[in-house]
Amino acid sequence: MTSTTLNPNSFPVPLKQDATIIGLVGLAHASSHFGHLLLPPLFPVFMTEFGLSYSQLGLLMSVFFVVSGIGQASAGFVVDKFGARPMLFAALGLFVLASGLASVVTGYAGLLVVAALAGLANATFHPVDFTILNQRVSAPRLGYAFSAHGLTGNLGWATAPVFFASITSLSGWRTAYLGAAGLFVVVLVLLWLNRDQLSTRAVVHHADTPAEHSMAFMKLPVVWWCFAFFLLSTMTLAVIQSFSVSILKAMHGISFESATFTVTAYMLCGALGMFVGGFVAATSRHSDRVVALSMAAAAVLLALCGAGIFGPTLTMVVLAATGFAVGIGGPSRDMMIKKATPKGATGRVYGLVYSGLDTGFAISPLVFGVFMDRGWYSATLLGAALVLLLSVVAALGVGRRTVARA
């Protein structure tokens, strides 16, 4: 490994080299997003099998994301100190363990343990992924790298509902979890065989560096505005993932299969949006404005779904289109965070900022789970749209403070 390999400003770098690294990181990211949905696609099954309420199901996701959020904020420091690759392999191993345990659970307590294990596995992926991309991919291709990263994440989300629904209908939900464990093993083996492409250098602190230097980034207001953006925008996504199937069934009498397909369509539209957004991110100087416009458009579409003015088919189409609007802003969002990140603090900043994602995922099911238990299905979607609109304010706040700091 040469210094050129790890220098993102070295150019030209062979396209094949960048593409290989982007592809491997994308595969890891897809697996982590698949792991996000280790439990939600089977919520209806758990309600029947174990007699659970929406609030109890929401708590499962809160446990997942509380563990992930705390772990993610801490993982950034570990990644900066020891490199990204060891943390990546450990995380995939934990997903294998969580999936295997899910196949043998006999009640709610077991599901809580699965949620905690999967949350711990998820904790390292964003600081790991962005450390590898920022160190190993040439700077002119970073916008496309972030686009591919987000796109593969959405594909992971889109795959999970279909994977679990299909295998459950054929062989039962326990077999589906054994299949998930096997899938994570395959990903782990592929990344291990290509481990040389995933190495990163640790951040070196000199002896005369003040002890508080590693925490200095936490004093920057822009970092906390980034955190707020992720928290707010993710609360909306959590509603789509956890409750949209039940909302579509309750409001419009849509079948479980069609409602599940709508969630998959949302994720696929999000992936298409990320592909388009990659070109936008690579050419736009105003990442914050792109993000704000995308989230505002998505909030309007989601509010229209919540208002109940459409019939079943058009509601499903508009909900899927919401994913496209959110997806366009995805790569620009990651560029926005990169511009706000101090040099040498990539793992720590991305760890802290993306723990806002976990915090949003943890809070949202608790809040909106109460709405769902009371039958406030329309209010759940309208509330999610309002929260997404607040994320527009946070994105513009990031942009203003990034310019001021520069």
pLDDT at 151 over 50: yes
> Would you call 373 helix, strand, or coil by DSSP?
helix
Q: Which amino acid does the sequence have at 63?
A: V
% of the chain surpassing 70 pLDDT = 90
pLDDT value, residue 216: 64
Burial class (CB in 10 A: 0-12, 13-18, 19+), 378: middle
The structure tokens 């290989």 sit at 20
Evaluate the CA torsion angle 26, 157, 107, 105 in order and state its sign.
negative
Looking at residue 4, its pLDDT comes to: 40
Can you spell out the DSSP letters for 175-218?
A: HHHHHHHHHHHHHHHHHHHTGGGG--PPPP--TTS-GGGGGGGG
Q: Is the pLDDT of residue 391 over 80?
A: yes
Dig out the tokens for 265 from the structure.
Answer: 């369509």
* Cα–Cα dist 146/36, whole Å: 19
Q: Is the per-residue pLDDT at 109 higher than 90?
A: yes
Q: Is the peptide bond before 12 cis (omega within 30 degrees of 0)?
A: yes
**Torsion over CA: 171, 172, 176, 182 (sign):** negative
Q: What is the pLDDT of residue 3?
A: 38
Q: CATH says 15-198+210-405 is which class?
A: mainly alpha
Q: How many CA atoms lie within 13 A of 394 on its CB side?
A: 22
CB 33 within 8 A of CB 153: yes
Residue 405 phi, psi (nearest 5): -70, -40
* Rounded-to-integer distance, Cα 143 and Cα 146, Å: 5
pLDDT of 2 reads 40
Could you count the other beta carbons within 10 Å of the beta carbon of residue 259?
A: 22
Helix %, strand %, coil % for the chain, to 5? 85, 0, 15
The pair of three-digit structure tokens given for residue 8, joined into one six-digit string: 């993102």
Residue 312 has pLDDT above 80, yes or no: yes
Q: How far apart are CA 280 and CA 276, in angstroms?
A: 7
- Would you say 136 and 28 are in contact if contact means Cβ atoms under 8 Å apart? no
* Tokens 């640790």 belong to residue: 202
Of 99-113, 139-153, 209-223, the poorest mean pLDDT is in 209-223
What's the whole-model pTM score? 0.74
* Closest C-alpha among 168, 21, 128 to residue 350: 128
Instruction: Indicate the length of the chain as a whole number.
Output: 406
| Least confident span in 59-68, 126-135, 161-170, 210-219 | 210-219
Tell me the average pLDDT across 107-129.
Answer: 92
pLDDT tops 90 at residue 71: no
Q: Indicate the pLDDT class of residue 404, thresholds 50, 70 and 90.
A: low
**pLDDT of 211:** 46
323-377 pLDDT tens trace = 999 989 888 887 887 776 666 666 677 777 877 887 888 788 888 888 988 899 9
Q: Token digits for 251?
A: 């409001």
Integer distance in angstroms from the first to the last C-alpha of the chain? 33
Residue-level pLDDT at 1: 39
